[in-house]
Amino acid sequence: MTPATVYVVDDDASVRDALAWLLRSRRLMSELFDSAESFDEVVSSPDFVIREPSCVLLDMRMGGMSGLVMFEKLIAYGLLPLLPVIFLTGHADVPTAVDTVKRGAFDFCEKPFSDNALVDRIEQALALSATGLQARSKTTGLQARLQALTERERDVMRLVVEGLPNKLVADQLDISVRTVEVHRARVFDKMSVKSAVELANLLRGLDVH
C-alpha cells in the first residue's frame, strides 16, 4: 500500500464501502468514518499529527454534524492545507461546494462520481499534502538549527545577512574583527551554508530577530 491515508467521512455505508474498495484497488490506504462527529473526535485530539500525505473525502450532507461544519472545524484546527478536503456533493450542493473551494477546500466531486476522476483528484490532493509535509519538515529543521546558535552568533548572523562586511559588524557589536570571523564561521557551520547569500536565502521569510 502507498504510505498515504485517505479519510472517508460519509454516513452512507454503501458509499464508504465503495470508496474503500476503490482506494484499495489503487493501492491507497483509507480510514472510514460514519459521521463527522466520529471523525472530529480523532482530528481534534492533541495526539493527532499528520505524518504522511493525507486527504479527506467529506460528504457535504450528513445526519448530525454536516460536512460544512466539519470543514470549518478543520480550518480552526489548522489542518489545512496539510489535510486537503475533497467534498462529495449532490447536484443541489454544487454552488455551496464551489464556495468552499474559494475558502480552502481542495475540490469537490459531484455524485455519482467517476472513479478515475475522483482518484486523480485524490492523488493530486495527496501530492499537495506531501509538499506541505516536506516544507514543514524543512522549517522544523531550520528552527532547530537557529536554536543551536548563541545570542552573539545570532547578532552576527543578522548583520551578515544584511550584507555588512566583517569590519562594520565588528564596529556595530563593539567586538574585534577576529571575533566576528570566528562567530561567522560558526554560524555558517551550524546553519550548513557556505556564504552570506546562501544564508540569506535560507532565512528568507523567517523572523530571526
Q: How far apart are CA 136 and CA 106, in angstroms?
A: 19
H helix runs in the chain, sequence order: 13-25, 36-43, 67-76, 94-102, 115-147, 151-161, 166-173, 177-191, 196-203
Backbone angles phi and psi of 87, in degrees to 5: -80, 140
42/103 same-domain check: yes
Q: 179 lies in a domain?
A: yes
Instruction: Give yes or no: residues 153 and 137 share one domain.
Output: no
Round to whole Å and give the CA distance between 29 and 144: 32
Q: Does one domain contain both 154 and 81?
A: no
**Sheet containing 2-9: which strands, arranged edge to edge?**
28-33, 2-9, 54-59, 85-89, 107-110
On whether both 118 and 158 belong to a single domain, the answer is no
Question: pLDDT tens digit string along 166-185?
Answer: 999 999 999 999 999 999 99
Whether the model pTM is above 0.75:
no
Q: Tens digits of per-residue pLDDT, 7-46?
A: 999 999 999 999 999 999 999 999 999 999 999 999 999 9
Q: What is the pLDDT of residue 167?
A: 95
In which domain, by residue range, is 166 found?
Answer: 148-203
Q: Cβ–Cβ contacts within 10 Å for residue 154, how many? A: 14
Instruction: State whether 173 and 112 are in the same domain.
Output: no
- 72 and 161 in a single domain? The answer is no
What pLDDT score does 94 carry?
Answer: 84
Residues 78/43, Cβ–Cβ less than 8 Å = no
Tens of pLDDT along 60-110?
999 999 999 999 999 999 999 999 999 999 877 888 988 999 999 999 999
